[in-house]
Amino acid sequence: MDASTVNNEKISVRNVDFSYRKHHVLDHLEFDLPLGESIAVLGANGSGKSTLLSILSGVRRCHGASMEYRGHDLTRDKKLRNRLIAYVPQTDPLLPELSVWDNLLLWFHGPASGLKEALTLPSVEMLRIDEFIKKPVRALSGGMRKRVSLATALINDPQILIMDEPAAALDLCYKAEIREFLSRFHQSGKTLILTTHDEEDLSIITLLYLLKDGHLYRSPRVLRGDELVSVIRGDIDISRIMTGAPANAGDAFPTGGSDVS
């Protein structure tokens, strides 16, 4: 899938409805994910961002939901979904007692003999994990572990990378390094979807979604600074942001909200 093809394609997500006991986290979300974008999903703690990403990646089941892509429902066609999408959770999935190489083998979809070639993929080579590939994961720094976590996803050459809090618990140098990698991944023509609480990550974002009270809103621009904080906190009426009207602190969110795609 090249960049020219990606720019005309999307995944149509429908009927994403999810509750934790009596707490309705995601309220029948319906939206499109245009491929080739760098997308952020923002919201307050507990708003359902991680839940949404885990559903999109297939890690969490959501009965009745669909994800249409080229005539296929990715919630049913697991083989296609796993080939297309890779997911990196906030907590790394690595086994600390194993070496980096052995961890990669666990996540590689092909035969073990093909892993060496997979490590030459441009997106994987950028991570420079060959510097410590024989070391046990327990001996690695937090930044190194994050690079290995990314590699476990990228060795299968996905078109879409989903990341939950990519820079969580990293120092400033490693945050900048991961951010630069993600920017280069997106610039290669692939799709990035992430959640973050770090405003600096928005420097690489081209499309912003806001999750509030179970509803997902597509922002006409990437918000920053006090305006972004006020929207997430609920001090600004989100409908003003959606229409491009000036936003004023003190405006309240509509009670129900509406999904915007």
* 261 residues of the chain, pLDDT tens digit each: 444 445 579 999 999 999 988 889 999 999 999 999 999 999 988 899 999 999 999 999 999 999 999 999 999 999 999 999 999 998 888 999 999 999 999 999 999 999 999 999 999 999 999 999 999 999 999 889 999 999 999 999 999 999 999 888 788 888 898 899 999 999 999 999 999 988 889 999 999 999 988 999 888 888 888 888 888 888 777 776 665 444 333 333 333 333 433
User: One-letter amino acid identity for 147?
Assistant: R
Backbone dihedral angles phi then psi of residue 191, each to the nearest 5 degrees:
-110, 135
pLDDT tens per residue, range 24-79:
999 999 999 999 999 999 998 889 999 999 999 999 999 999 999 999 999 999 99
CA distance 53 to 49: 6
Contacts of 139 (CB under 8 A, 6+ apart): none
**What is the spatial distance between Cα 199 and Cα 17, in angstroms, rounded to a whole number?**
28
All structural domains of the chain with their residue ranges: 3-94+160-243
- Strand-pairing partners, residue 207, are 39
Using an 8 Å Cβ cutoff, are 138 and 97 in contact?
A: yes
Q: What amino acid occupies position 58?
A: G
Q: How confident is the model at residue 242, as a pLDDT?
A: 64
Give me the half-sphere count of Cα atoms (radius 13 Å) on the Cβ side of residue 54: 14
Rounded CA-CA distance 20/39 in Å is 25
Task: For residues 239 and 195, give the distance between their C-alpha atoms in angstroms, rounded to a whole number.
Answer: 22
What is the pLDDT, as a whole number, of residue 180? 92
Q: What is the pTM of this model?
A: 0.86
> For the domain bounded by 3-94+160-243, which CATH number is listed?
3.40.50.300
